[in-house]
Structure 1
Amino acid sequence: MAVKKIWTIDHACGHRVDRDLSNRPADRRAGYARWLAERDCTSCWRASHTKDAEAKAAWVEAKRAEELAEAEAWSAQYRMPPLEGTDRLIPWGIRCRHRLMTAAYTVLVVEGEVGEAEWERIEDAARTITRAGWWVDQRDADPEDLPELLEAATETDRPTENPYV
């Protein structure tokens, strides 16, 4: 007698579904059927994950809006210039600049040995960087490296990326 190929699965969600398990080796069908029974059916699984994804997307959107509002208020308070870039890149750049600058202030001034006068020079250098993409590119940088990064970005005699231009 052949091992059955169509199995009736009573899923954890309460639905009963006939599943074709012929694509599995005969000796693994029973174990797979038990495993399926411990889970929701495909329809219920998709429905629950769609809700979760929508809720997460809404939460992320609200969190980004909150961070952007905080970053824009900080930018206005410290006279940071508007950033240039695409409509999608500018808000991201503003948030990245805010995070990096505030973290650098904490590390260098509050916890470190940089004085307020030197910090103002760092802020002045940061004001010259108006390309949102630069700030996004530095989003994972160590805050202690900010002065060096700003110095590298503001050098006037930098070679072009393409030496043949």
Structure 2
Amino acid sequence: MAVRTTWNVAHTCGHEVTHDLSNRPADKRAGFARWLAAKDCTDCWKAARDGDSASKEEWLAAKRAEEQQAAKDWAQQFEMPPLEGPERALDWGERSRHQLVTAAYTALTVEGSWDEADWAVLEEKIRTVTRAGWWIDQRDAEGTDLPELLDAATDEDRGTENPFR
């Protein structure tokens, strides 16, 4: 006699659902059905997940606002030039620049062998890259890579004081 492939499972949410477990090895079906019984059914699980998305969105919005304020405060404190690019990329670019530059400072100066004079030279290079998209593209880079990345930046990534360029 073959091991059955369909199981009627009474989920913890109170719903009973027939599950086709034919895609599982025969010796794993009973254990999987037992595991399913300890969970909400798919519909209830999705409803709970979707209902919780509002709080996740609120949390993410609050976190982004906090990061954005920190980036703006940092840019003002260190006299960083405003970034250029599409309106929707500016905030993201500012956050990315702030995170990468502070990670670089920590890695190179605080934990590394650079002194403040070395950092001052790099900081001037940082000020020249004003394209928000460039900073967004570098968002996953290691802080120690920043000097090399800045050397690789093109003229299109660098700002100009001439507004008629």
Q: What TM-score comes out, normalization by structure 2 length?
A: 0.74
Partner of 1:98: 98
Q: Is 1:12–1:39's contact at 8 Å kept on the other side of the alignment?
A: yes
Residue 48 (structure 1) shift:
1.2
* Percentage identity across paired residues of the two chains: 52
- Alpha-carbon deviations, 1:47-91, whole Å to 9, x = none? 211133332222122111111110111001111111122233211
User: Which residue matches 2:145?
Assistant: 145
Q: Per the alignment, in what secondary structure is the counterpart of residue 88 of structure 1?
A: helix
Residue of structure 1 in register with 2:45 after alignment = 45
Counterpart CA distance in 1 for 2:11 and 2:155 is: 65
Separation in 2, partners of 1:97, 1:84 = 12
Q: Which amino acid is the alignment partner of residue 48 of structure 1?
A: A
Segment drifting more, 118-127 vs 71-80: 118-127
Deviations 1:17-48 (A, max 9, x none): 5x374x848x96x7365454332123321121
Residue 72 of structure 1 is matched in structure 2 by 72
Name the larger-Rg structure: 1
Partner of 1:131: 131
Query: Separation in 2 of the partners of 1:81 and 1:14?
Result: 59
Following superposition, the deviation at residue 5 of structure 1 comes to 9.3
Unmatched runs of 5 consecutive residues or more in structure 2: 157-165
What's 2:162 paired with? none
Change in CA separation of 1:154 and 1:123 when aligned onto 2, cut-off 3 Å: farther
Tell whether the 8 Å contact from 1:13 to 1:41 is kept in structure 2 after alignment.
yes
Partner Cα separation in structure 2 for residue 78 and residue 61 of structure 1: 26
CA 1:155–1:130 in 2, change beyond 3 Å: closer, same or farther?
closer
Indicate how the Cα distance of structure 1 residues 8 and 81 shifts in structure 2: closer, same or farther if over 3 A, else same. Answer: same
Superimposed CA distance per residue, residues 97-132 of structure 1 (whole angstroms, 9 cap, x where no aligned partner)? 101111111122222232222322211111111111
Distance 1:126 1:16, change over 3 A: same
* Contact in 1 for aligned 2:93/2:132 (Cα 8 Å): yes
Cα 1:37–1:120, aligned 2, differ >3 Å: closer, same or farther?
same
Q: Secondary structure at the match of 1:79?
A: coil
Q: Where do 4+ consecutive residues of structure 1 move more than 6 Å? A: 3-7
Residue matched to 2:83: 83
Residue 55 of structure 1 corresponds to 55
CA contact (8 A) 1:109 1:115 kept: yes
Q: CA RMSD in A?
A: 3.1
1:151–1:24 CA distance, 2 compared to 1 (3 A):
closer
The answer to whether the 8 Å contact 2:9/2:33 transfers is yes
1:21-32 matches, cutoff 5 A: 21=20, 24=22, 31=30
**In structure 2, what is the Cα distance between the partners aligned to 1:52 and 1:64?**
19
SS in 2 for 1:122: helix
